[in-house]
Amino acid sequence: MKRNTAIPKTVNEYLAAVPEPARSTLKNVRTAIRSAAPAEATEVISYGTPMFKYKGMLMGYAAYPKHCSLFLATSSLLSMFKDELSRYQTSKGTIRFPTDQPLPASLVKKIVKARVAQNEQKQGR
> Between 105-123 and 22-36, two packed helices, what is the crossing angle to 10 degrees?
50
Residue 89 is part of a domain; what is its CATH number? 3.90.1150.200
Its pTM stands at 0.90
| Residue 32, in any domain of the structure | yes
| Residue 116, in any domain of the structure | no
Alpha helices in the chain (DSSP H): 11-17, 22-36, 76-80, 105-123
Structural domain range at position 89:
11-111
| Residue 65, in any domain of the structure | yes
- Counted domains in the chain: 1
Write out the chain's pLDDT in tens, 125 residues: 444 557 899 999 999 999 999 999 999 999 999 999 999 999 999 989 999 999 999 999 999 999 999 999 888 899 999 999 999 999 988 999 999 998 999 999 999 999 999 999 887 65
Nearest-angstrom CA–CA distance, 76 and 42: 22
| Residue 20, in any domain of the structure | yes
Peptide bond connecting 21 to the previous residue in cis, omega within 30 degrees of 0: yes
